[in-house]
A = this chain, B = another copy of it.
């Protein structure tokens, strides 16, 4: 008998009817001959409500340990209710809370890291034929207090549980049907992918595809947990996130992601001398501002150069203010900032063995008169920065150019 971990998020457990639907879904997975361990989020809206109360009463810098104590209760409620819903359709089931398993974490309240996932009790229940229901997002710190794992924490719990139990697969139920070649709200011809590699999913997730959080994908990759992203509202197979070796016919490009959370900053006429990068990026790092793409133009006179880089849009003003403090030192003539840019990334593990991917990109955009403002590449990804106004046009053109269009 194979063991499957199934994770149901907020909209999948939004109300009692949805919980009953989840119970029937689990019933079908069992009928296919699987043992099932379940991870649940809080019911939709609950976590926001609890966080709102915490913020109102404790302020933004409140005690994170109490924050965790309050907020973790949402998942506890869902776990108990789903165990009851399962029992109501005749499935032996019980909840096992974070501190009961125990899900041991470090003491970083509000964004704790899982250190170990206790499975003794879970296995005992599974061996007795019970379905176990574990509240996601929560754990227990070394001092015995409740912790939470931060954004996307329930996915992380599910992957960690699947790894700890050596599960055959970890199904993550969401409100979308899987991972798409690109955002179907923008590109009507976007297709659901049957399979995608961890590396590609990681790039997709970190570039704005909201299906899975980066941490969960990274953990799945590290622990070789086969993930399936699928919808709890349909009965269709979703997208499998697996090791490259499991994908026989690899596409060169698997998907195109985009991120609007970008701003471009250009330092005009900076002294072109060694150590200048440290003078620029040191203060930004100290201010907690992450820098992404960096482009240094070739110096025309051998004395000064222009330097362009991107930051998150919300950090733009702070970045400019920080740089103003070192502007004289840099010999910088002017600081330009542009918050109306978008980063578009073409992703595919097939790129490693194929040339011409970049050329296709540049040609496609040039044909539409779209100017590329910055480029950065990795082994399996090419990202470009363009004017935000061209987002849709660029996405659709690239989707067609890389042969991703569906029927």
**A19 is an interface residue with CB less than 8 A from chain B:** yes
Q: Is the CB of A84 within 8 A of B54?
A: yes
Give the docked Cα–Cα distance between A70 and B95 (Å).
Answer: 10
Give the docked Cα–Cα distance between A63 and B62 (Å).
Answer: 37
Q: Is the CB of B59 within 8 A of A88?
A: yes
When all copies of this chain in the complex are counted, the total is 2
Closest to A74 in B: B73
Closest to A56 in B: B16
Give the docked Cα–Cα distance between A65 and B83 (Å).
Answer: 10
Q: Is the CB of B80 within 8 A of A94?
A: no
**A233 is an interface residue with CB less than 8 A from chain B:** no
Q: Is the CB of B53 within 8 A of A66?
A: no
Residues from chain B with a CB closer than 8 A to the CB of A57 are: 16, 19-20, 81, 84-85, 88
Q: Is the CB of A80 within 8 A of B70?
A: yes
Q: Is the CB of A69 within 8 A of B88?
A: no
Known: A87-B62, A144-B100, A146-B97. A54 touches B73 (CB 8 A): no
- A70 interface neighbour in B63, B65, B81, Cβ under 8 Å: B81
- A77 interface neighbour in B65, B73, B144, Cβ under 8 Å: B73
Residues from chain B with a CB closer than 8 A to the CB of A83 are: 63, 66, 69
Residues from chain B with a CB closer than 8 A to the CB of A20 are: 57
Known: A57-B19, A57-B20, A73-B76. A84 touches B99 (CB 8 A): no
The contact string, 1 if C-beta is below 8 Å from chain B, for chain A 239-257, is: 0000000000000000000
Give the docked Cα–Cα distance between A225 and B145 (Å).
Answer: 30
Chain A residues at the B interface, C-beta cutoff of 8 Å: 16, 19-20, 50, 53-54, 56-59, 62-63, 65-67, 69-70, 73, 76-77, 79-81, 83-85, 87-88, 94-95, 97, 99-100, 144-146
21 A-B pairs with CB atoms under 8 Å apart are A16-B56, A16-B57, A19-B57, A50-B77, A53-B77, A53-B81, A54-B84, A57-B88, A58-B84, A63-B83, A66-B80, A66-B81, A66-B84, A66-B95, A67-B80, A69-B79, A69-B83, A69-B95, A70-B76, A73-B73, A100-B145
